[in-house]
Amino acid sequence: MPHQLTFDLPTREALGRDAFFVAPSNRLAVATLENVAMWPSGKLALIGPKGSGKTHLAHVWAIEQNAVIVPASALTTVNVPAIAAQRHVVVEDADTLPTLPDAAAAQEALFHLHNLTLAEGGRLLITATHAPNHWALTLPDLASRMEGTAVARIEEPDDALLSAMLIKHFEDHQIAVSHTLIPYLVKRIERSAAAVRDIVDALDAASLRSRKPVSQKLAAQVLDKSGN
């Protein structure tokens, strides 16, 4: 078997449409995002567990719609009317608003961005981990508008999606692996996108430390140390 050389290469995350794997756990969310004309009141909340692909899917949508992307943490620093005038806007991690140092001002900014974007006849996509009724917003007018927003949910990954995510993360790390390693890991890691990221990061680090290629044997050692 040829020797696999290991190098400490930078991670290059692929965020294009071709890198997003559609599976039963996210198919409905993808279809809802694509059917922009049918969004009730022109807005949609894309929700799902951390690392489930919300950012990836939101960035794909933003590219296709020529939309502006604004992290919730930056809402108080942007020109809200100018962004709303672009007519297609993504606000990421909206459920973090109550935890921000400038929470009141950030919520006020999202309230105005919401109203101005929809007044322009635009579309507002909001990402979060939980549905809007769990955000604990303190601005009543914003809370009512967010709770009236349609929700598209990304579920925990099934085997097919978990496998595709592992392959993608290994490719992002520029790591070549055997075809048998993916099903081995799928059976042993937690069924979450975060677990996929963690195991690939751990294997990458272990490979660099030991100067050995990523293999099933190395995976067994890493999993054993992590208690999996």
pTM above 0.85, yes or no: no
For domain 26-153, give the fold. Answer: Rossmann fold (3.40.50)
CA distance 62 to 45: 14
Q: Give the domain 157-226 fold.
A: Helicase, Ruva Protein; domain 3 (1.10.8)
The order of strands in the sheet holding 150-153 is: 68-71, 88-92, 123-128, 43-47, 150-153
Distance CA 46, CA 90 (A): 10
pLDDT tier for residue 38 given thresholds of 50, 70 and 90: very high
Q: Name the segment(s) of the chain with CATH classification 1.10.8.60.
A: 157-226
| pLDDT above 90: percentage of residues in the chain | 69
Residues of the chain with CATH 3.40.50.300: 26-153
Is residue 88 classed as helix, strand or coil in its secondary structure? strand
Q: Helices 54-65 and 27-34, interaxial angle, to 10°? A: 20
pLDDT grade for 4, boundaries at 50, 70 and 90: very low
Token pair, residue 49, equals 């567990």
User: How far is 96 from 199, CA to CA, in rounded Å?
Assistant: 26
Q: Where residue 104 falls among pLDDT bands split at 50, 70, 90?
A: very high
pLDDT band (50, 70, 90) for residue 79: very high
